[in-house]
Structure 1
Amino acid sequence: MAALQQTPITFQSRSPPSTQITAKFNPLKPLRLSFSGGFSSLKIPNLTVKLSGKGGGAAGAKMADSAAGSYASALAEVAKSNGTLEATSADMDKIDKLFSDPQVYQFFVNPTIDLEKKRKVIDDIVSTSSLQPHTANFVNILIDMKRIELVKEIVKEFEVVYNKLTDTELAIVSSVVKLEAQHLGQIAKEFRN
């Protein structure tokens, strides 16, 4: 039996809000779609698409209730106001990768390590990874406020805020066969139409 593959695809709505189609669905049950036209050459035995709801709704309500959500919202507002929302999103991906390393995370959350030493490391990271100045400042604020342990949660919450600001939904595509990049592109294209 083939193993079930799950691949997230992010897509943006290209239609104006007045022409968008709204469908009610049970978030606990996957939304099953069948495709025609351009998908005739794509043979996928069982394809399930489940909207995760990260663009708003219940997830948005959860975000506002947490400290990580407040930090993420503040960073997103700064990025939006200075026109660097896309670049800040890329910065958050870099920060996520950086803090996914357990040694890096432990270094920054260790209360016995001097704040100046942590700031110096952040300055080195900023110079090598070309983070936006406000993103670097944001990480320094987390260090100064002794809230750096929230960084992983902030990254997740930032994605929620970013998706809401850019009218982006996250769909999880499940297939019993491995999907190639071209197939994922075709699926994303079908959603855009």
Structure 2
Amino acid sequence: MVIAKKYAGSLFEVSHEQGVEESVKADLATLKTVVAADQSFHLFAEDPQVSKESRIEFVEKTFKGVDQPLMNLLKILADRKHLELIPAIAAEYETFYNEANEQQYMKVESVYALSEEEINDIGKAFIKRTGYKRLLIENIINKDLIGGIRTTIGTTVYDGSVQNNLKEIAKAVQQQ
């Protein structure tokens, strides 16, 4: 969503300048969870009968304690009836945060739960391969792989599974 990305980019830039990008990220993660789960929030945010002033007052009372850049954005969202964008803005903000900190989420699929040491070794290998300074790794059990691992970093998939190797062999045999 383009508008959410623009809001998130501006918020990250101001938060970074003020040195509060960490706390804004944490507050946004909380807001994302709460807003996504609260149907009454959506009804309020989208109600055309709620005045701009009421929305802004609601934001000021409900979200007091957040850093000023986030409060300013929430007031803008309330003013423009865009409060429903909070989850999308939170996701985009996290992308900006990860890029600035040269880190990325990594999903490692395996047939069994990997040990901490195995996860660390995989992480180190992919840090060398990708150039990221840090990978936030999640291990997911996938019995269909038969063996090996499949990793996903951002939108890139590295498939070293037995299942994939068998598919490649079958494809090669069919082409001959």
TM-score, shorter chain, exceeding 0.5: yes
Report how far residue 142 of structure 1 moved.
0.9
Candidates 35, 46, 51, aligned match of 1:99: 35
Larger relative contact order, structure 1 or 2 (CA cutoff 8 Å, min sep 6): 1
C-alpha distance in 1 between matches for 2:22 and 2:57: 26
Deviations 1:24-80 (A, max 9, x none): xxxxxxxxxxxxxxxxxxxxxxxxxxxxxxxxxxxxxxx7xx111111100000011
More displaced stretch, 67-76 vs 144-153: 144-153
List gaps (5 residues or longer) in structure 2.
Answer: 128-176
1:76 aligns with 2:8: no
1:163 aligns with 2:98: yes
Counterpart of 1:153 in structure 2 is 88
**When the two structures are superposed, what TM-score results if normalisation uses the length of structure 1?**
0.56
Counterpart of 2:70 in structure 1 is 135
Instruction: Report % sequence identity.
Output: 26
SS in 1 for 2:108: strand
Q: 1:184 to 1:105 in 2, by over 3 A?
A: farther
C-alpha distance in 2 between matches for 1:161 and 1:148: 20
**When the two structures are superposed, what TM-score results if normalisation uses the length of structure 2?**
0.61
C-alpha distance in 2 between matches for 1:184 and 1:105: 41
Report how far residue 92 of structure 1 moved.
1.0
Deviations 1:91-137 (A, max 9, x none): 1112102211222122112222122222222222223xx31122111
Q: CA RMSD in A?
A: 2.4
Counterpart of 1:113 in structure 2 is 50
Q: How many residues align?
A: 124
Q: Is the 8 A contact 1:98 1:104 kept in 2?
A: no
Q: Is the 8 A contact 1:115 1:144 kept in 2?
A: yes
List gaps (5 residues or longer) in structure 1.
Answer: 1-62
Report how far residue 168 of structure 1 moved.
0.9
C-alpha distance in 2 between matches for 1:184 and 1:137: 41
